[in-house]
Amino acid sequence: MVGRALVVWTGLLVLAVGFGALREALLTPRLGSQTAHVLGTIAFCLAMLFVTWASIRWIGPGDTAAAVRIGLGWVVLTVAFEFLAGHYVFGHSWERLLADYNVLRGRIWLLVLVATGAAPVVAARLRKLPGF
């Protein structure tokens, strides 16, 4: 189960990078940074839920506790990737990376983390897996 969850998370990571690239290429020039950020975040959350819904049987959590552990693991991996790759690979400052967490300035990145954590449980319940 853990290996399959990691495979799906890796796919979600690729999806997130693709969504970010499309957002910057298509939405930001037309709608501005803030509107593009909000629309892109919501669109990615929906896509992530769909991918999780499509793959949750394959991942195979046996119960809600296992799905919660998967979601929490995905959140930890996502935050680690965001900060480590964001800073050391892409060269973003710590301030820039932390700015996405400032909901008072309209940044809704936290929604991605909430959706990431909840997606396995939500998907398992939508799929009516045994034990859910």
What are the domain boundaries of the chain? 2-126
* pTM, entire model: 0.92
Q: What are the pLDDT tens digits along the chain (132 aa)?
A: 999 999 999 999 999 999 999 999 999 999 999 999 999 999 999 999 999 999 999 999 999 999 999 999 999 999 999 999 999 998 999 999 998 888 888 889 899 999 999 999 999 999 999 989
- Whether the CB-CB separation of 51 and 15 falls below 8 Å is answered with yes
Query: What pLDDT score was predicted for residue 50?
Result: 98
Token pair for 40: 């892109």
77-106 as b/e, with b when 16 or more CB fall inside 10 Å?
A: bbeeebeeebeeeeebeeeebeebeeeeee
Token pair for 9: 């998370």
